Each structure stands twice: as C-alpha cells, then as structure tokens.
Amino acid sequence: MADTTKKKGGKAATKGGGPKTGPLIAWVAAPIIGVVFFATILLLTVGMLPTIAAFVVDRYPRKLITKTVGFMNFAGCAPYVMQLWTGSQTVDQVADILGEPTHWLVMYGTAGVGWTIYFLMPPLAAAWLAVSQEMRQKALQGQQQQLIEEWGPEVRSAAGGGTDRPPETDAMLEAAAASAANAEGNAPPPAG
Amino acid sequence: MALDTPQEAAQSGAVPGTVSLRGQFDISADQPLPGYDSPPAMAYACSQTRDLSRHLMALVCDPKLPPRTDVIPALRRIDHGCMVKVLDWGVVDWPLEGRRCPVLIVERPQGQRVFRATDTETKPLPEELVMRLFLQPMAQILAEIQAQGQVHRAIRPDNLFYDDAQRSRILLGECISTPPALTQPVAYETIEAGMAVPAGRGEGTIANDLYAIGATAIALLIGRAPCHDMRDDEIIDSKMQYGSYTALVRRARVSLTMMEVLRGLLHDDPKERWTVDDLNMWISGRRLSPKPPGLPTRAARGFVFMGKEHLTAREVAEGMSRHWDKAAEAIHDGSLDAWLRRSLSDEERTEAVNTAKTVSVVGDDANDRITARVIIALDPFGPVRYRDFRATVEGVGNLFGAFVDDQEARRLFVGVMRGNLLPFLVETRGKPTPEHVRQLTLYDKARSFMDRMGMGYGVERVAYELNPTMPCRSPLFETDFVVAVDELLPAYERLAERGGIGKSRLVDRHIAAFIAARFKGAIGGELRDLENATDENVPLVAAVRLLSAIQDSQPNRSFPALCELAAAQLRPTIQRFHSRRRRRGVEGEMVKVVRAGRLGDLLEVIDNPMALESDQRSFDHAVRLFSRSLHELRQLQYERTNRGRIARDLGAWVASLISGFVGITATLTICIIALL
C-alpha cells in the first residue's frame, strides 16, 4: 500500500506539478488577456447576454440550452468581433458597433434562432421515438413468437416470463411497476 | 382352468376345425377322444401330414398347469413298446378355448384304458398276467427312465392302456401333460408325497415310481383302486398306522410270491424300498424273503390331540398340521415334551423338538414358524408343512409356481422361506443328499431374489427361477403360452396384432421377472430403470430397451406390430425433445423404422443421447434469447411511459448538436471572409 502511494507520488512529481501550475498560469494569464482583449471582451459580454440568460435558466446538467443558444449567439457576434480585430480594438469602436441597432438585431436574432432550434427538436424527437419504439416492439414480439413456435410455451416459462400470459401483459405489469417507482423518485435510468 | 369340450365351445359360439402344429400335425378340434383324456389334458384326433397311417392323438393341456416339456427330449430317447410315445409338442391357437394352449402329440393306444377311471372296478387280473403284462415291462421302462435321469410320476391304473382288443399288451400312458404327480391319487403316492398337496409333491425320485408300481399292481390284482372307499386323510392315517402294504392290500388275498414284490415296492422306508434292479432280479426269478413293513417307533401311551390318539411322532406331526391353530397350544403347554420323554422315549426326536423350539422368532407369524419347525422335528422325512402350504423339499417351488398369483400362497411361501424351514428340514434329516444340497442352493438363490422388491425380483422372480417350465403369468399373456424367452417377442407381436395393450405397461412385474430369470444377457440397468419414479420417460424407454436386448439375441427376426406398439408407448418420450421441428422429425422417423420391425432402430431414433443433448443446448440458447427479448420489452415499455421526458432530453441534445454545427460553420466562414 505504501509502495503504491510512493509510486503515485513519484509519477505526479515527474509530470512537473501540473495540478499546481494550472491555477497559477490562469491567475497570471487572465489579467493580461483581460487587459489586451478588453474591447473584445466588452463586446462579447454585451452581445452574448442571451446566452448568459440561457445559462441562468438551463437545468440540464450538460447545459444543453446554453450550448444551443451560445453557438448561434457567438456566430451572430463573430462578424463584429472580426470587425473589432481588424480595426483599432478600442472602447470607442465597441461603442460604435453597439450603437448600430441592426448589430443588436443580428447578435440577439441568432440567439433567437438557437432558442427556436431548441424548442423544435423535442416534438420531432418524440415522434421519432414513437415510431422506432413501435418497430422495436414488433421485432421483439416477432422473435418471441418464433421462439415459442419452435420451442413451445416452456421457453417462455424457462426464461422467467410466466407460463400462461402473453409477453405484452408482462410488459404492462413491468411498466406499471416502473411508473410507481418513478413516482417515488427511484426510476431506472433511461436507455442509452 | 378347465378346458372346454366341443359341446361347450359350440354353445359359446366357438367354431372348431382343424388346427395345424407347425404344418406337421393336423389336430381335429371337432373330434374329441374322451376315452383317452388325461385330465386335465383333453384328447383329440390327430394325423401326421406326411404319414396318415399313424395312430396319433393330441393332448391339449391346461395352460395354467404347464406340461413337463423339459423331460420330453429324454423320454423320446426311450424306445419301449409298452410306453406311449410322445412325438412332439407345441403351442397352438386352440379355437375351443379362444387362446393358445400347449399340445402334446402322442401315439394313440389301440385298446381301451385298463381302468376307465380311478374309482371304477374291473375284472381282477391273474398274478401271472400282472407280472407278464405289467410288472415286467414297467421294470424295463423304469430302468430306461432311470438311465435318462428322469422320473415318470404318473403310474396308476387309469393311465394304463391295452394296446389291442385281445388285451395282450399293456401300455404305460404319458407323464408330460401335467406337473409331476399332480393327478396321482394319494393311494399311489408314498406317505411323504401323499401328505403334500398334489402341486407340491415335486418330481421325487424313481423310488416314488416303484411305489406307484406296487400300488398299481395291487389295483390290477384286486380289480379296483386300493382304499377306494377312503378319504385321502384316512388313507394316509392308515398307511402311517399299518404300513403302506397292509393299508393298501387290506383284506385282499395275495400270494406269497406277490407279497414279496409288493412289500418290497411299498416299503415305507425309501432306503429299504426295492430298487429297479431288485424288481428286475425278482422278475428274472430270484426270490427274496418278504421284507417286514419297518414301522416307526411307537409310544407306550398315545398322545391325545384333538380327541385322537397318536402313537408315532409322524402321526402327531400330521395331526398338528391338520389342526394348525391348536398345535401351538400343545407345543407350549409342555404336554408334547412330556409325551416325547415319557411315552415315545425317542431321544433323537426329543432333542430335535427342543432345537426346533429354541429358535428366537418374533413377529405375527412366530407361532406358525415354531409350529412348522416342531412338525419338521417330529417328522423330518415328511413334507414341509406351514399351514396350508404342504410340499416336499423339491416340490416347494412347484407349489408356489402353481399359486404364484394367490396372495395367501405368497404369504405362506414367504413364511417358509424366511423361516428357513427347508434348511432346518434337511439338517434334521441328517446327512444331506447331493440332490438336497442342490435344492437348498437353488432356494438360497431364490431367497436373495425374494428379498429384493424391484422390477425383475420379488416373489415373481422366485416362481420363475424355481419353475423352468412355468409360462409367463403376466395378464398381458393371459390368452397366450410363453415358456421360453425367445417366445416372448412373438407373443408380443400377436398381442399387438390383436389390438395392443391399452394403457397397460409394456413390461409388468411378471414379464420383468420372467425375462430376468430366463434371459442371460446383462439387463440390470434396464430393470433398475423400469421403476424410475423421478422421470416417467425412463421406465418407458427401459421397457423397450429390455425387449430390444432380447430381439438382438435373435437376429433376423422382425416384429413390425410390436414396434408399432412400442412406438405408441414411447410417444410421450418425444416430449423430451424441446424443438417442435425435431419432434415432428422424430415422429416421422419412427413411422419409417416401425415398418422394419427392429426395436433397436426405434430406440436409436427416440433415445439418441447426442440428439437429446444437442436439442437441450439449442433450447438453452433459445431461453437466453427469449430472456433477453423480455428484458428489452420491459425497457421499451419504460421508455414509452417516459417518452415525453426522454424526447425532451433527446431534443435538447440534438438541438445542441445542430446549433454547434451551424454556429461553428458560420463563425469559421465569417472569419475566413473577414481575413481575405
């Protein structure tokens, strides 16, 4: 046990103290970047306010709404960031850019497109799920039927599926049990 | 069973006709010859197909009383003109009975019986004729029978025939149609054999035949059966009291010449009884002084038992065996001991009775065993007596074989065997004879079978082991006659052709025991499997496997009907295959192999271990597949129930992918345009 700890410590030391140097670089680099790219940061802060709002309301652990809105919002801000980089990169130029209402429309409009994509996808996914589940069920029931035809009802009882009720009934019973468990917050994880 | 006469058969609707025995003999079922009946066998006219001039008759035997077919080869070697010759035997479908019966083909005497029946009277024969027509040829015949190692055991006046109308020759009738001595009246049997029940007299020895010759000679001399007006027990009592010669001759006048031979032949001590050589010497003119009767030791004062006074130990033994339930009292109250010591003064008997009583016996039949042992001690040369079971040492097996399906007979036989009465009897007699040693070895072996209750063992096995000519007594062969194991499958074939066995098992206890006793192959595994209670298919397969082993020992014999019957019996075992397709395949193959008539082929189809194993493996795989599909269906149902939430998550994920792709593409495009 002691040897293992020693080995692990030795390995960490040879890598050059990565975990310790990361925050140090961040603390050094961040003020420098903040100073050098102040105008860009200012523009993006104002232009990506919808993404910040999406981050606030996003309840997904993987922040899927933020990503959806953020990617589109950034694409909307990108022309003005490029304009800033090819220009003087000053606060005045940022003020000029923000002073144009169409620029606001472009930046916030692309964020709206992101929201639109987010709202359109779940119904489409539900429709696709309904169709694919139906097909899977038919395929599985067909397979069971074939097995029963070849091996008789005893194949079902040997598999633990009961002897005198069809598999649909088993599935319904299982589903009812799962729903009850879900209501108590103990639902099994979704497939995939 | 009593065989039906043609008249009775006609009333019952059976149509008699000609029955062929192997194509060599034609038996006319509609031509009975009542004058030649040998009860219970019945005589019918018969002709030999290649020699119609021969005077033959067929004796249709009672299948329940198996004929002595094992002695036929030996007796056929005896070529004596004064003995009815047995030409052949076989089993035929007898229309008057509607079943198969054993039939003997014998030469038909040209004259009538000397005595029409045992109780009829006829004109006495002069001594000269008795000697010339009877004693002389009988002595020669017995010498030949003895040389063949056999006995006749059916010498009596009504089994003698005149060979012509002039009555110039007397023929001795056959002795094969019934078990030995079964039809002999008590008067013609020795005291020991007479005390046994007819079925339990056993083969005996040539001395029994010599005794019967003596008794028959008296009948011929006096023109009627000796002691014709007495009951069997009275005849035995009279023989015990006065000796056989005096009891049978009674007040009849016998010349000194005849007295000599009769006393010699009827001597009650087998060691003193004349031998065949003695008889032949007497016939050739050597005269001896008449032997004294040799009566047993008599008591000074009689032992009174059940109101009758007994003077000898043998009389007491016989009296006790006739009043069995009262005998135990006399044994235990000390009166017998006192009589033995004070009145009989026979130290040997007293000692033997004490030995008989000292054995420790427990159980319900303790009194019966003690009584049987005391009776043996009192009369060691008499038969084994155990309540109604009364048989000579060699007749115990015959008696049990005759009543094997009778529960009481079974109980008594088991009592005799478990009580070790036969070893005690032989031990009490003194030095055992080689024949008795052989018999005891046989009974020891039988007892080991009796104590095992599985299929192929038990009392049924004992019956077949002790009776080599006993037919299989299975209810399946009730209308058949199967004596040898190679006749078993043909009998099954006939049974199957008649319509099968319904719901009966193919091999029952009787058949299993019959096969175990008669078949010499290794069938222990099959016998064990016949009573397998855990898997109902195993006994079905074992039964067919057993019959298949027999068929394998008889190459080139096919039994299609039996195969069809076996296939029907084995049909439930198809269920051992899980695959429906394979089941259909096996059924199809069974139909094919049934036509070939080989049981082994049928077993290869239905009891192929490799096919069964492969099927089991495939079934296990199918079970796994089914189990997986069940799991997936449950998962699917869960997804259906929670489809809204899953769709929302999935939609958000897809939306982020689309947005990411579009956003990055647009950003890169803008950057490139701006930099150009």
Q: Which of B629, B644, B652 sits opposite A118 (nearest CB)?
A: B652
Q: Are B569 and B599 in contact (CB under 8 A)?
A: no
| pLDDT at site B505 | 87
Q: Determine the average pLDDT of the residues in A11-31.
A: 68
- Say whether A175 and B623 touch across the interface (CB within 8 A): no
| pLDDT at site B8 | 53
| pLDDT at site A14 | 44
Contacts (Cβ under 8 Å, ≥6 apart) of A169: A162
Share of chain B above pLDDT 90, in %: 69
Categorize the per-residue pLDDT at A89 as very low, low, confident or very high, splitting at 50, 70 and 90: confident
Whether residue A115 lies within 8 A of chain B, CB to CB, comes out as no
Lowest model confidence (mean pLDDT) among A25-34, B61-70, B237-246, B294-303: B294-303
pLDDT at A185 over 60: no
Categorize the per-residue pLDDT at A60 as very low, low, confident or very high, splitting at 50, 70 and 90: very high
Interval A112-124: pLDDT, tens: 999 999 999 999 9
Contacts (Cβ under 8 Å, ≥6 apart) of B671: A78, A82
Whether residue A82 lies within 8 A of chain B, CB to CB, comes out as yes
Whether residue A135 lies within 8 A of chain B, CB to CB, comes out as no
Judged by phi (left if over 0) then psi (alpha if -120 to 50, else beta), residue B97 lies in alpha
Chain A residues in contact with B648 (beta carbon < 8 A)? 122, 125
Query: DSSP class of residue B276?
Result: H
Q: Determine the average pLDDT of the residues in A45-67.
A: 94
Please count the other Cβ atoms lying within 10 Å of the Cβ belonging to residue B366: 14
Q: Which of A71, A85, A122 sits opposite B648 (nearest CB)?
A: A122
The beta-strand segments (E) located in B11-165 are 18-21, 25-32, 42-48, 51-60, 86-94, 99-107, 160-162
Lowest model confidence (mean pLDDT) among B290-304, B474-488, B627-641: B290-304
Categorize the per-residue pLDDT at A178 as very low, low, confident or very high, splitting at 50, 70 and 90: very low
pLDDT at B386 over 90: yes
- Say whether B637 and A114 touch across the interface (CB within 8 A): no
- Say whether A133 and B627 touch across the interface (CB within 8 A): no
Q: Determine the average pLDDT of the residues in B43-48.
A: 94
Chain B residues in contact with A167 (beta carbon < 8 A)? 629-630, 633
Average pLDDT of chain B is: 90
Categorize the per-residue pLDDT at A15 as very low, low, confident or very high, splitting at 50, 70 and 90: very low
Chain A residues in contact with B662 (beta carbon < 8 A)? 71-72, 75
| pLDDT at site B635 | 92
**What is the distance in angstroms between the CA of the first residue and the CA of the last residue of chain A?**
38
Q: Determine the average pLDDT of the residues in B106-111.
A: 91
Whether residue B619 lies within 8 A of chain A, CB to CB, comes out as yes
Sheet of B51-60: strand order equals B18-21, B25-32, B42-48, B51-60, B99-107, B86-94
Stretch 53-72 of chain A: residues touching chain B, C-beta under 8 Å: 60, 62, 64-65, 67-72
| pLDDT at site B293 | 67
Lowest model confidence (mean pLDDT) among A1-5, A130-134, B202-206: A1-5
Phi, psi of B516 (to 5 degrees): -60, -35
Whether residue B575 lies within 8 A of chain A, CB to CB, comes out as no
| pLDDT at site B344 | 84
Q: How far apart are CA B36 and CA B56, in angstroms?
A: 11
pLDDT at A1 over 50: no
Lowest model confidence (mean pLDDT) among B212-226, B289-303, B319-333, B561-575: B289-303
Cα distances (angstroms) measured from residue B604 to each of B58, B481, B594, B598, B612: 45, 31, 12, 10, 11
Q: Which of A120, A150, A171 sits opposite B633 (nearest CB)?
A: A171
State the DSSP H helix or E strand holding residue B308, giving kind and residue range, or none if neither.
Answer: strand B308-310
Which amino acid is residue B342, in one-letter code? R
Chain A residues in contact with B579 (beta carbon < 8 A)? 150-151
Q: Which residue of B has its CA nearest to A144?
A: B626
Q: Is the dihedral of CA A86, A87, A91, A97 positive or negative?
A: negative
Whether residue B359 lies within 8 A of chain A, CB to CB, comes out as no
Whether residue A125 lies within 8 A of chain B, CB to CB, comes out as yes
User: Is the interface score ipTM higher than 0.95?
Assistant: no
Q: Determine the average pLDDT of the residues in B598-612.
A: 92
Whether residue B625 lies within 8 A of chain A, CB to CB, comes out as yes
Interval B179-224: pLDDT, tens: 999 999 999 999 999 999 999 999 999 999 999 999 999 999 999 9
Q: Which of A64, A75, A161 sits opposite B666 (nearest CB)?
A: A75
Whether residue A79 lies within 8 A of chain B, CB to CB, comes out as yes
Q: How far apart are CA A132 and CA A12, in angstroms?
A: 49
Q: Is the dihedral of CA B482, B487, B488, B490 positive or negative?
A: negative
Lowest model confidence (mean pLDDT) among B79-93, B349-363, B446-460, B642-656: B349-363
| pLDDT at site A7 | 44
| pLDDT at site B11 | 53
Lowest model confidence (mean pLDDT) among A13-27, B32-46, B344-358: A13-27
Whether residue A160 lies within 8 A of chain B, CB to CB, comes out as yes
pLDDT at A172 over 70: no
Q: Which of B624, B625, B654 sits opposite A121 (nearest CB)?
A: B654
Interval B480-536: pLDDT, tens: 999 999 999 999 999 999 887 877 889 999 999 999 999 988 899 999 999 888 888
Q: Is the dihedral of CA A41, A47, A49, A50 positive or negative?
A: negative
Q: Are B562 and B599 in contact (CB under 8 A)?
A: yes
**If DSSP states are collapsed to H, E and C, what string results for B4-45?**
CCHHHHHHCCCCCCEEEECCCEEEEEEEECHHHCECCEEEEE
At B391 the three-state DSSP class reads strand
Q: Are B222 and B122 in contact (CB under 8 A)?
A: no
Q: Determine the average pLDDT of the residues in A128-157.
A: 92
Q: Determine the average pLDDT of the residues in A133-138.
A: 94
Q: How far apart are CA B447 and CA B441, in angstroms?
A: 10
Q: How far apart are CA B645 and CA B536, in angstroms?
A: 55
| pLDDT at site B5 | 53
Categorize the per-residue pLDDT at B14 as very low, low, confident or very high, splitting at 50, 70 and 90: very low
pLDDT at B95 over 50: yes
Q: Which of B641, B646, B670 sits opposite A175 (nearest CB)?
A: B641
* H-only helix segments in B284-334: 313-322, 324-332
Interval A93-104: pLDDT, tens: 999 999 999 999
Q: Determine the average pLDDT of the residues in B651-667.
A: 95
∠ CA B601-B602-B606, nearest 5°, is: 120
Instruction: Quote the tokens at residue B601.
Output: 């082929």
Please count the other Cβ atoms lying within 10 Å of the Cβ belonging to residue B541: 23
pLDDT at A176 over 70: no
Q: Which residue of A has its CA nearest to B577?
A: A151
| pLDDT at site B188 | 96
Among B340, B360, B336, B358, which residue's Cα sits nearest to residue B348? B340
At B303 the three-state DSSP class reads strand
| pLDDT at site A137 | 93
